[in-house]
């Protein structure tokens, strides 16, 4: 693996863009899949939920395996699984086939978020990590921005099967990484690798339980759950709402793209601000997400404008919050804890996204047949309330943490 220079982070950013685009493109094309297969809201939400759950668990496993296996081997295997599953998706049509393909996609794609954080913690100097995390966050923002547009355009012109074309390209880097790993010498890594045993999982579980006893970590973990809960719920709800408003797939993508692109450009300029004024940035990011959700809920009379502006605020807010919280976790935990801490943070993020989509799908299935417009407004108001309470919670916990630190310094 390349360990120095901007080229390595550029590579991780490109892979992150493709992996996150899988979620963005699929969300936009989901209404077409629902219409063709006559799926219930609960079934459609499961196609998104299972992806998030699988990628959450698999990314944590990849992170741990990186301590006993070569990163190139793990990354190449993951990309191969995701690419091969995506090629199968070009031909699958039934609901059960799609569910299996999405599961395999997630298992393979999880290698990118899991190993990218390991790479940053292992090879990027501490003073440069915030920039590295921001670069990854920028790729996530671009993927959430271009993903809906790409997904909408491909679904509109070539059908929803074309959604699997972009992730199938992951086969190409896997065909380079796996032979490169096979030809390298065992001493190529700087530190000794021990064989992976199942007892390592128990040891890892103990280390994670140790982390969960740290107050400074636990409340940040809860906030990362909330960030993805809100982000993925909003993306799913907007896709379904646009379908109910009879918007085409490409029109839906065009409505979501400007805001997400603006958030990606904005986050890249905020690296120094996050380092200097982390508390203000994070509190403001949750307020932005709350304001965006509120605008969408109250802007039903002007749906297009409310979606464009509201989603811009939500995308920017959640992207800033995610980058800031990752930076805080990497700096607050010492020794070997940061890698495990970031792995658990990723698990919390993806589980938050899965929970949000699952609950949103259940709510739509139960209430929407009676009054769909009111249900959407109520759900967006709920997201606004969750984000606003998170901003308040962050400020309270940060202030309490500062007081505890001052007390220890005086003592």
**Span 331-347, average pLDDT:** 67
* Radius of gyration of the CA atoms of the chain, in A: 21
| pLDDT of residue 323 exceeding 90 | no
Confidence of residue 367 (pLDDT cuts 50, 70, 90): confident
**Predicted TM-score of the model (pTM):** 0.79
How many other C-beta atoms lie within 10 A of the C-beta of residue 261?
18
**Over the stretch 117-150, which tens digit does the pLDDT of each residue have?**
888 877 877 777 767 777 787 787 777 767 778 8
Q: Where are the domains of the chain?
A: 6-185+200-410
Q: Please tell me which residue, 118 or 230, carries the higher pLDDT value.
A: 230
Which range, of 46-50, 99-103, 171-175, 384-388, averages the lowest pLDDT? 171-175
pLDDT for residue 343: 72
CATH of domain 6-185+200-410: 1.20.1250.20
**Span 350-356, average pLDDT:** 86
User: Whose CA is closest to 76, among 3, 5, 15, 163?
Assistant: 15
| pLDDT of residue 82 exceeding 50 | yes
pLDDT for residue 338: 62
**Span 283-300, average pLDDT:** 90
**Span 66-82, average pLDDT:** 85
| pLDDT of residue 187 exceeding 50 | no
State the average pLDDT for the chain: 79
**Over the stretch 237-259, which tens digit does the pLDDT of each residue have?**
988 888 888 888 888 888 888 77
pLDDT for residue 264: 67
pLDDT for residue 248: 84
| pLDDT of residue 88 exceeding 50 | yes
Confidence of residue 383 (pLDDT cuts 50, 70, 90): very high
Q: Please tell me which residue, 269 or 275, carries the higher pLDDT value.
A: 269
Q: Please tell me which residue, 161 or 268, carries the higher pLDDT value.
A: 161
Which range, of 52-56, 340-344, 388-392, averages the lowest pLDDT? 340-344
Q: Please tell me which residue, 50 or 278, carries the higher pLDDT value.
A: 50
């Amino acid at each position: 693996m390349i360990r120095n220079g901007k080229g390595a982070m550029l590579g991780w950013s490109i892979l992150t863009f493709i992996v996150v685009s899988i979620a963005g493109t699929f969300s936009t094309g989901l209404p077409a899949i629902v219409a063709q297969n006559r799926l219930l809201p609960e079934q459609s939400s499961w196609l998104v939920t299972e992806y998030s759950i699988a990628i959450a668990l698999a990314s944590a496993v990849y992170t741990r395996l990186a301590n006993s296996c070569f990163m190139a081997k793990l990354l190449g295997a993951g990309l191969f699984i995701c690419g091969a599953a995506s090629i199968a998706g070009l031909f699958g049509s039934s609901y059960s086939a799609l569910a299996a393909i999405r599961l395999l996609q997630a298992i393979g794609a999880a290698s990118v978020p899991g190993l990218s954080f390991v790479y940053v913690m292992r090879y990027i100097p501490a003073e440069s990590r915030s920039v590295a995390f921001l670069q990854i966050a920028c790729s996530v923002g671009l993927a959430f921005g271009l993903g809906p547009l790409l997904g909408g355009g491909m679904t509109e012109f070539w059908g929803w099967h074309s959604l699997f074309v972009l992730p199938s390209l992951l086969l190409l880097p896997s065909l380079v990484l796996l032979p490169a790993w096979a030809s390298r010498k065992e001493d190529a890594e700087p530190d000794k690798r021990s064989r992976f045993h199942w007892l390592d999982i128990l040891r890892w579980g103990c280390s994670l339980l140790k982390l969960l006893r740290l107050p400074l970590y636990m409340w940040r973990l809860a906030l990362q759950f909330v960030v993805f809960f809100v982000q993925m719920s909003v993306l799913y709800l907007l896709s379904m709402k646009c379908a109910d408003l009879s918007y085409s797939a490409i029109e839906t993508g065009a409505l979501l793209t400007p805001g997400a692109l603006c958030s990606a450009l904005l986050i890249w300029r905020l690296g120094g601000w996050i380092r200097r004024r982390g508390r203000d940035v994070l509190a403001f990011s949750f307020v932005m997400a709350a304001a965006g959700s509120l605008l969408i809920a109250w802007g039903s009379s002007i749906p297009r404008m409310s979606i464009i502006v509201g989603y811009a605020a939500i995308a920017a807010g959640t992207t800033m919050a995610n980058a800031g919280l990752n930076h805080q976790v990497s700096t607050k935990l010492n020794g070997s804890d940061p890698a495990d801490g970031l792995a658990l943070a990723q698990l919390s993020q993806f589980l938050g996204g899965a929970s949000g989509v699952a609950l949103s799908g259940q709510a739509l299935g139960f209430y929407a047949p009676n009054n769909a417009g009111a249900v959407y407004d109520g759900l967006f108001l709920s997201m606004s309330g969750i984000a606003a309470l998170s901003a308040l919670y962050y400020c309270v916990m940060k202030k309490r943490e500062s007081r505890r630190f001052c007390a220890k310094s005086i003592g």
